[in-house]
Amino acid sequence: MLTSYANDPQMRDVLIFSGSAHPVLASSIARYLGLNLSPTIVRKFSNDNYFIQLGVSVRSKEVFIVQPISPPCSENLVELFFMLDIARSAGARSVHAVIPYYSYARSDKKDAPRISISGRLIADLMQAAGADHFITMTLHSAQVHGFFSVPTDHLTAHSVFVEHLQTRDLSNAVVLAPDIGHAKRAVKLARALDLPAAAGEKTRLGDDKVNVTGIMGNVTGKHVLLVDDEIATGSTIIETIRALRKEGVSHVTVLGTHGLFTGNAARDLDAVDEIDEIVVTNTVPLDEDRRPAPQRLKVLPVDHIFGEVIRRNVRGESVGELFEFWHKPKI
């Protein structure tokens, strides 16, 4: 665990604000830095328009606004637009959008006629609103990083997953990506744990429907560590495990940076006997009525990672080792 920097004099001009999406995470990030979360006033007029006000002066300050784009995504996004615009127009030295979960990253290509590549569009709109730096974690695909035309720190929760898994018996384990698109992330985890890796053959049929036709790699009778960027409806996990049953797999640990558990995901995942544990991070808030069974669910904190990248940005230090696809050079 990284150390708190409560007495760092270079943090005196840093202000941390939170929208409505995840104030608990924002408070934890501020606490790691030895700061108090600055107040934000959010309310609605009778016509459903927002009134938003930052509660302290931001003039000549380094302003960090924490707001994952989690459900309700549109409302949280509009709040973020307002807060970015306020900070810029009120004379902030720099405006940093801290977006632990960027939901629009799933829209990263034009795979149907007459649709928007909204991952790029939303990035442009946030920059237009006032963001001159972005901090996010585990984007759905690597190319989404390129949608941001200002400095962007694409972070990884890799370290907390490795630390957690090293406490488990991995003598018969294999790391599995649900599809080829996520294989690079799975291989990175496999190398850190000195384990083999495999990948599923997946075709997405809709928002909550996928087809897994097979598994590439040896998983027969193994304890499978199934790695994905997010867990929404749970359909990818459930269909992958159906394919794993044919390979004699009876123990699966599910790993996902963003634990959304939308719709009936918690109920559906609880019904899968092969799942031993579901491990996610706290990038998004998770209400009690959307959580899988508590004996299965483990939520790992990543506030220290966001706090550390904020500290390093303020001090002008490298943040490369915290990046999603950064590989430490051999000496």
The whole-model pTM stands at 0.92
Q: What is the pLDDT of residue 2?
A: 46
Q: Classify residue 3: in a domain, yes or no.
A: no
Q: What is the pLDDT of residue 1?
A: 44
Write down the mean pLDDT value for the chain.
91
Q: Classify residue 126: in a domain, yes or no.
A: yes
Q: For a pLDDT cut of 90, what percent of the chain falls above it?
A: 76
Residue with tokens 């408070």: 27
What band does 128 get if pLDDT is binned at 50, 70 and 90?
very high
Instruction: Reduce the DSSP state of residue 14 to 3 states and report it.
Output: strand
User: pLDDT tens digits for 305-326?
Assistant: 999 999 999 999 988 888 876 6
Domain CATH for 99 = 3.40.50.2020
Do 105 and 189 lie in a common domain? no
Instruction: Reduce the DSSP state of residue 86 to 3 states and report it.
Output: helix
Q: Is the dihedral of CA 213, 216, 220, 224 positive or negative?
A: negative
Distance CA 216, CA 219 (A): 9
Do 288 and 184 lie in a common domain? yes
Nearest to 225 by CA among 202, 244, 204: 244
Q: Cβ neighbours of residue 105 under 8 Å, at least 6 residues apart? A: 119, 139, 140, 141, 144
User: pLDDT tens digits for 166-215?
Assistant: 999 999 999 999 888 778 889 999 999 999 999 988 666 566 666 777 78
Q: Classify residue 268: in a domain, yes or no.
A: yes
Do 191 and 270 lie in a common domain? yes
| pLDDT above 90 for 329 | no
Q: Which of 34-48, 149-163, 197-211, 233-247 has the lowest mean pLDDT?
A: 197-211
Do 167 and 289 lie in a common domain? yes
Mean pLDDT of the region 124-142: 94
Highest mean pLDDT among 97-106, 142-151, 194-203: 97-106
The reply to whether 202 belongs to the active site is: yes
Do 56 and 173 lie in a common domain? no
Distance CA 25, CA 17 (A): 11
Q: What is the pLDDT of residue 107?
A: 82
Do 264 and 315 lie in a common domain? no
Residue with tokens 């902030």: 92
Q: Is the Cβ–Cβ distance between 321 and 328 less than 8 Å?
A: yes
Counted domains in the chain = 2
Do 246 and 136 lie in a common domain? no
Catalytic pick among 202, 298, 328, 330:
202
Mean pLDDT of the region 263-290: 95
Check residues 82 and 5 and name the one with the higher pLDDT: 82
Looking only at the bridges linking them, the beta strands covering 133-137 and 275-281 are: unpaired
Nearest to 17 by CA among 90, 72, 60, 80: 80
Domain limits at 240?
A: 158-300
Residue with tokens 């990030």: 29
Q: Is the dihedral of CA 106, 108, 111, 117 positive or negative?
A: positive
Do 24 and 106 lie in a common domain? yes
Do 45 and 150 lie in a common domain? yes
What band does 331 get if pLDDT is binned at 50, 70 and 90?
very low
Q: Classify residue 329: in a domain, yes or no.
A: no
User: pLDDT tens digits for 49-83?
Assistant: 999 999 999 999 999 999 999 999 999 999 999 99
User: Dihedral, CA atoms, 164, 167, 173, 179, nearest 10 degrees?
Assistant: 0
Q: Classify residue 327: in a domain, yes or no.
A: no
Looking only at the bridges linking them, the beta strands covering 197-206 and 209-216 are: antiparallel
For residue 212, the number of C-alpha atoms closer than 13 Å in the C-beta half-sphere is 22
Q: What is the pLDDT of residue 197?
A: 95
Q: For a pLDDT cut of 70, what percent of the chain falls above it?
A: 93
**What kind and span of H or E run contains 239?**
helix 235-245
